[in-house]
Amino acid sequence: EVQLVESGGVLVHPGGSLRLSCAASGFTFSNYWMSWVRQAPGKGLEWVANIKGDGSEKYYVDSVKGRFTISRDNAKTSLDLQMNSLRAEDSAVYYCARWDLYSGYYSLHNWGQGTLVTVSS
């Protein structure tokens, strides 16, 4: 069974840093693109970042470029999100999710339960 378990969400001050982690199990982690998706309180879903299975490609939403870094450790089957220069608008539940490829199309088939990040003074 595929499991994705996020951790690391806390209350942090504006300008601070935080590192989120996602522990993956139940599948060959290195074979999959992975993603962070966030959801601000009462708002919709927002794609944040993607990383290829071997870590060689990374993509970010414009609002986090230069502040957030997605990374992975395939030996430990973990996905991380280093978040620097945090702003109030980064407050959200952050989900770890796995991209699956079916018939040539990508979609997010497995999601973690999310971890809450609150940026406030």
Partner 1 sequence: QTVVTQEPSFSVSPGGTVTLTCGLNSGSVSTTNHPSWYQQTPGQAPRILIHSISFRSSGVPDRFSGSIVGNKAALTITGAQADDESDYYCVLYVGSGSWVFGGGTKLTVL
The C-alpha angle 88, 93, 95, rounded to 5 degrees, equals 130
The radius of gyration computed from the CA coordinates of the chain, to the nearest angstrom, equals 14
Question: In the set 25, 30, 107, 120, which binds partner 1 (CB under 8 A)?
Answer: 107
Question: In the set 18, 24, 34, 37, which binds partner 1 (CB under 8 A)?
Answer: 37
Q: Which is nearer to partner 1, 23 or 108 (CB)?
A: 108
Of the candidates 70, 38, 68, 28, which has an alpha carbon nearest to the alpha carbon of residue 51? 70
Is 25 a binding residue for partner 1 by CB under 8 A? The answer is: no
CB of 28 to partner 1, least distance (A): 19
User: Would you mind telling me the total number of residues written for the chain in this entry?
Assistant: 121
Is 57 a binding residue for partner 1 by CB under 8 A? The answer is: yes
